[in-house]
Amino acid sequence: MEGLYLLCSIITTTVTSIALSLLLPLQYLYNFFLLRSISRKKQVEEEDHQQEPVIFLYEGSVWHERRRPVHHSFRYSARYALLDLDRAPNSLPSSFFSNHLSAHEAREITSTTGTVFLLTIPPSVGYEQNPLSVYYCYELEGSATRLTKCIAEVTNTPWGERVSFVFNPDSDLVAKPLHVSPFMDMLGNWSMRANVPGDNLFIAISVQHPKLGDYFTATLNAKRISSGALNPALFFWLMPHKVALWIYWQALKLWWKNVRFVQHPRYMNPTYRDEASMRNRKLQCCPMVVQDENNHLKFDESYSPLVGENGSRDRWCVWRDAQWPWA
């Protein structure tokens, strides 16, 4: 049933995307001729008020490397948008924002007071695919702001489950909370870090496993590009589709390399989320350095200093269940 649904979903997405892609030139002409004067007027007003843009465009590459039990690496080009959630552009559908946190919600979760930016791949021609979105939450310090917290929003494919959690952008260690790949088990932790988005943007995640060590790394490196003459709808055209194709293609290559297939933990261990939460609490309460027999694994002492009602450190973490028929 699940395989049939996946096939139908692929066919439906393909037909919808082709139809909406054919409408893109008409939309572009409409925006160019009829809304050009409005855009110019708005641009002049923004320049008069010296406002920052509400959307920044980034172009770069995503790199994955698996070192054990077999070596497997790949790189693909990627385009991202960094959105000012307090002044979110109306060019994106309302359904997109209803599917993500608002600036107010992100500030409440992280106890920050400044601007909130969302790094994400916007939906394109009716389809959205975001393995990782990141909220950058700034703290007001007088007339300046400082990045103090981030919220990671990780979504797995094809199930569409999501986990959102707070992490320290300088460096943090999080107990793995989500089954993101059928070729990885639920053991180990995610070591994460991110820079302050500027002309360059960087995010790194490495998997630290009790048996395989530091065996997997994923990075995003991107540069900000000028968005003045670019149409976001054209800039991100089929970008989510390309990400999905890369995910399935690399899964097929891992299967071809005889990497062990790992069943979704909900079938074998329905309490895996509770176990991840418990391991996360232990990481935050008892940070330490641990190495396996091959000296592969090294935990740092970074953790998010969020304090729960009982006085113990606790990290905000929320799961979103898979939709039918994956549920």
Is 309's pLDDT higher than 60? no
Q: Which helix (H) or strand (E) holds 259?
A: none
Share of the chain above pLDDT 70, in %: 81
Q: What is the pLDDT of residues 94-115, one digit of tens each?
A: 788 888 999 999 999 999 999 9
Task: Take residue 242 and report the two structure tokens written for it.
Answer: 């390309």
Burial class (CB in 10 A: 0-12, 13-18, 19+), 69: middle
Sheet of 72-84: strand order equals 172-175, 189-194, 200-209, 213-225, 55-66, 72-84, 116-120, 132-141, 144-155, 162-167, 317-320
Q: What is the pLDDT of residues 63-72, one digit of tens each?
A: 999 999 999 9
Q: What is the pLDDT of residues 138-179, one digit of tens each?
A: 999 888 899 999 999 999 998 999 999 999 999 999 999 999
Residue type, 64: H
pLDDT class of 267 with cuts at 50, 70, 90: confident
Residue type, 156: N
Tell me the C-alpha distance between 164 and 158, whole Å: 17
pLDDT class of 6 with cuts at 50, 70, 90: confident
Task: Using DSSP, state whether 267 is helix, strand or coil.
Answer: helix
| β partners of residue 246 | none
| β partners of residue 274 | none
Is 300's pLDDT higher than 60? no
Is 308's pLDDT higher than 90? no
Mean pLDDT to the nearest integer, 11-19: 86
Picking from 71-80, 256-265, 295-304, which range would have the lowest pLDDT averaged per residue?
295-304
Task: Take residue 285 and report the two structure tokens written for it.
Answer: 């309460």
Neighbouring CB atoms inside 10 A of 53's CB total 15
pLDDT class of 305 with cuts at 50, 70, 90: very low
Picking from 24-28, 52-56, 70-74, 128-132, which range would have the lowest pLDDT averaged per residue?
24-28
Q: Give the 3-state DSSP-derived string for 143-210, with helices as H, strands as E and coil as C.
A: CEEEEEEEEEEEECCCCCCEEEEEECCCCEEEECCCCCCCCCCCCCEEEEEECCCCCEEEEEEEEEEC
CA distances to 32, 100, 220, 262 from 93, rounded to whole Å, are: 20, 12, 26, 36
Average confidence score pLDDT of the chain = 83
Looking at residue 126, its pLDDT comes to: 87
pLDDT class of 228 with cuts at 50, 70, 90: low
Picking from 116-120, 127-131, 138-142, 321-325, which range would have the lowest pLDDT averaged per residue?
321-325
Is 301's pLDDT higher than 50? no
Looking at residue 48, its pLDDT comes to: 44
Looking at residue 18, its pLDDT comes to: 86
Residue scoring higher pLDDT (314 or 160): 160
pTM assigned to the model: 0.85
Looking at residue 280, its pLDDT comes to: 87
pLDDT class of 33 with cuts at 50, 70, 90: low
Looking at residue 46, its pLDDT comes to: 47
Residue scoring higher pLDDT (211 or 323): 211
Task: Take residue 16 and report the two structure tokens written for it.
Answer: 């919808």
